[in-house]
Structure 1
Amino acid sequence: MIRHIFTLIWNRKRSNFLLIAEILLSFFVLFVVSVLLVSNYYNYRQPMGFESANVWEFDVTPNQDTTDRKGTLRLLIQELQATPGVVAVTHTSHNTPFSFSNMNTDQYHYKDKQAPLTERYDADDDMMRVLKFNLVAGRWFDRRDDGVAHQPVVVNQKFAEAMFGEESPVGKILTDPKQPDTWQVVGVIDAYRSGSDFAANEPAIFHRRVLQSTKIDSREYPMLLVRVAEGSGAVLEQQLVKKINRVTKGWNANVNTLEENRHDKMKFMLTPLVALGLVALFLIINVALGLFGVLWFNINQRKSEIGLRRALGATGNGISGQFLGEMLVVTTLGVIGGLALAVQFPLLGVFGLAPQVYGAAMVLATVLIFVLTAICALQPSRIAAAIQPAVSLREE
């Protein structure tokens, strides 16, 4: 039977070649779309590396005439920490979790190796208590880092793997050939995906934050993250805002929870993903319509062949099975060509994604193509099975 199907395909090689080319192109486009969808789903399933629940963000803007910003900020943090219901307070840079701000660099070097593009964060000794990182090696910042020769930094595992490979990262010294600065790795956290739920786990480095002087620079405007007790609400928020106004004497403070920021960022990220899903659906519908039309045309062109086979005793199920078999074989040939192209993506590192993402996308695109072709071939094969030999031969 299989040999007979291949013979029929070869006898109609010109039309089947066009069909194989259409399936190959459709598979490749579905594969690319699947890579993007699978990569976002893969990132969504990865651990965030921190806990955002019960953390409030205070974006504090000092007055222009503030003379002792450093002292005022230190006093403000002490007052907030002493407030009942507040668990911990940290002072950090503006690229807080789920913000639309970033601060990346590739200035770090270890021996002859340069770091990949790395997101830099400012952190103080209390950030661990606020965001509850998962420390996997070394330690977090503390008073032992006061006055050390090399500036202390904490990195995530992605950074450690890129820079140190199998070596233990704790204690390693990072340098910058263009500056005299040096940094010593004191700890490693497992992950830190602060961009959004769909963000990849990119290299990250945390610098120990020292409260800056009174320099007027938007990058130095205080950004505070406050972990509060579970169940805290508007009453505590009002208390903290009033305390900020009282201590700072007029600094502006905007308050958001990290969960609110996370929800807003999720909506922003979902918009292109929904659009991509609609494009994929439109593509699938067009592929299905194209295949259905081609198969319908093939049946009309082969009515005499079908009638002759029915006259020789072929059953309706046999005719239907023949058309389904031909379509599955043609689909297999197209998918093999598409897989040959798709395999180049992980080999060449296109998109820079994990190999399992490409593998899952290949499987998804393959399943979609076979399901589409089977569905599109089902109705035309039934029509072919219903053709009576007297009718088809009379038409000829």
Structure 2
Amino acid sequence: MIKHIWKIIWNERRHNIGLWIELVVVAVALWYIADHMYVTLNNYFKPLGFDTEHTYIMRLGLINPNSAVYVNDIPQETGVEELKTALERIRRNPMIEAASISLHSSPHIGSNRSLTLFRDTLQTRYAILSRTVTPDFFRVFKYKSKNGNTEDLVRALERNELVISPEVEKELFPNGESAVGKHVSFEKGDSADLYRIGAVSTEIRYDNFNNWSSYFAQNMNNDFLAFFSGNYVSALEFCVRVKSEEDRDFIGRFRQDMTQQLRIGNFFLGDIRSIPENKKAYQKDDVDDLQMRAFVVLFLLVNIVLGITGIFWFRTQHRRGEIGLRVSLGDTPPQILRKYYMEGLLLLTAAMVPAMVVILILGKQGVLITYLMHFTGARYLIGFAITYILLALMITLGIWVPARKAVKVPPAEALREE
């Protein structure tokens, strides 16, 4: 039957060439749209590598130096101990599961520090995120090592070793060797201080709209705390994970319990925010942009559906006489529908061949999105499958409705109309 239908298509090539060209153009446009949405949504829903459910970020404030209760000339060592005391008191609160101090490391705040790592003659191509944290930071956000264990990361920082991401490991140890136990530096040269890598985490993404996942983490030692124990204390992030059963009106209850306890030296309990709420605010513009793109894509899809379905609807409706003739010659309605479906799908298949070549060229030239996902064979085939299935459904719908009605018309009437 396929050979017979190809012969019909070829014999009617003068009428089919315009439809074929239109299918090629629509297939390329639909492929581009489908690929864009697939890459964007795949990146959005890909796991972030950490968990922010039941987590909060709080900061300490500094009493105004003009206040009567302000204590002058507190030594840095005392300030460091006061920060550690504040962390310990937060950790001991019965509502808290884990607590940490960090600098430019909490998710979804848009605050970053970056450095370059070196290993012999190799270095990271770009500056990577620097996360300065206390060890329990990994427990707060449930980071995992490549072995699937949070405690590996915690113990590495407790030993004052570095934790790095898989991307950094791949860049500095390109032969597939493990980075654990090896040494890196923050400066180039033989005199640079070396730091031992204690663990490698799983992939930790920056947010749902980026593919940025290169980072290293180091322990927040007393030198860091000393620098921020004065006027810059509000830069420190006190991140906590709340026990799930206690996560109800947490901010109000925590303030009631801890305001007095965290009035230490010149410090007081300042801002407290839900990290999931921070995420909503931080990603709002990106989410709005994604929704706007989705509406535009939906509008384009509706137009494509109406266009392709309408063309095949009109084409099938125009062939009522042919359908009547086939019925009079003994073809059953299911056989006729099957032939027209096959003809439409063969036309689509013929149009997809040049469309595949065009998309391959666009992908190789970097016209398609590549910063979120490399243009791989799997991505190419997924885009092809989505495009082919959508167009096949449109063509089938455009044939089914008029053809189903036409095969019910008595052959004599259909021929008389023709």
How would you bin the TM-score normalised by the shorter chain?
0.7 to 0.9
More deviation, 132-141/209-218: 209-218
Aligned to 2:68: none
Aligned to 1:131: 141
Whole-Å separation in 2 of the counterparts to 1:337 and 1:120: 47
Whole-Å separation in 2 of the counterparts to 1:26 and 1:102: 43
Could you tell me which amino acid in structure 1 is paired with residue 38 of structure 2? V
TM-score by length of 2: 0.76
Aligned with residue 164 of structure 2, among 149, 155, 179: 155
Q: Deviations over 1:270-328 (max 9, x none)?
A: 43333333333322221121112212332455455445545545444443333222111
Whole-Å separation in 2 of the counterparts to 1:64 and 1:26: 66
Q: Which runs of 5+ in 2 are unaligned?
A: 66-71
Could you tell me which amino acid in structure 1 is paired with residue 58 of structure 2? F
Deviation at 1:35, TM superposition (A): 3.4
Deviation at 1:126, TM superposition (A): 3.2
Residue 379 of structure 2 is aligned to residue 365 of structure 1: no
The answer to whether the 8 Å contact 2:59/2:270 transfers is: yes
Q: Specify the SS of the correspondent of 1:276.
A: helix
Deviation at 1:256, TM superposition (A): 1.3
Residue 92 of structure 2 is aligned to residue 81 of structure 1: no
More deviation, 91-100/303-312: 303-312
Whole-Å separation in 1 of the counterparts to 2:218 and 2:276: 25
The answer to whether the 8 Å contact 1:55/1:258 transfers is: yes
The answer to whether the 8 Å contact 1:69/1:213 transfers is: no
The answer to whether the 8 Å contact 1:88/1:227 transfers is: yes
Over aligned residues, Cα RMSD in angstroms?
3.7
Aligned to 1:4: 4
Q: Deviations over 1:187-235 (max 9, x none)?
A: 2111223424x65462222233322526998797222112344433332
The answer to whether the 8 Å contact 1:33/1:276 transfers is: no
1:1-396 matches, cutoff 5 A: 1-43=1-43, 46-62=46-62, 65=65, 71-72=78-79, 74-82=81-89, 83-85=92-94, 86-104=96-114, 107-117=116-126, 118-136=128-146, 139-140=153-154, 141-142=156-157, 144-145=159-160, 152-165=161-174, 166-170=176-180, 171-177=182-188, 183-196=195-208, 200=211, 202-209=213-220, 210-213=224-227, 221-232=235-246, 233=250, 234-244=252-262, 246-247=263-264, 249=266, 253-264=270-281, 269-299=286-316, 301-303=318-320, 305-306=322-323, 308-310=325-327, 312-343=329-360, 350-352=369-371, 353=373, 355=376, 356-386=378-408, 390-391=412-413, 393-395=415-417
The answer to whether the 8 Å contact 1:116/1:203 transfers is: no
Alpha carbons of structure 1 residues 254 and 175: separation in structure 2 relative to 1, 3 Å = closer
Could you tell me which amino acid in structure 1 is paired with residue 388 of structure 2? T
More deviation, 43-52/161-170: 43-52
More deviation, 60-69/283-292: 60-69
Whole-Å separation in 2 of the counterparts to 1:344 and 1:216: 58
Whole-Å separation in 2 of the counterparts to 1:13 and 1:112: 63
Q: Specify the SS of the correspondent of 2:299.
A: helix
TM-score by length of 1: 0.80
Whole-Å separation in 2 of the counterparts to 1:247 and 1:111: 45
Deviation at 1:375, TM superposition (A): 1.6
The answer to whether the 8 Å contact 2:61/2:233 transfers is: no
Could you tell me which amino acid in structure 2 is paired with residue 128 of structure 1? F
Q: Which runs of 5+ in 1 are unaligned?
A: 146-151
Whole-Å separation in 2 of the counterparts to 1:91 and 1:127: 7
Q: Deviations over 1:234-281 (max 9, x none)?
A: 32343334433x225365711012233345556655433333333333
The answer to whether the 8 Å contact 1:133/1:189 transfers is: yes
Q: Specify the SS of the correspondent of 1:56.
A: strand
Whole-Å separation in 2 of the counterparts to 1:219 and 1:28: 55
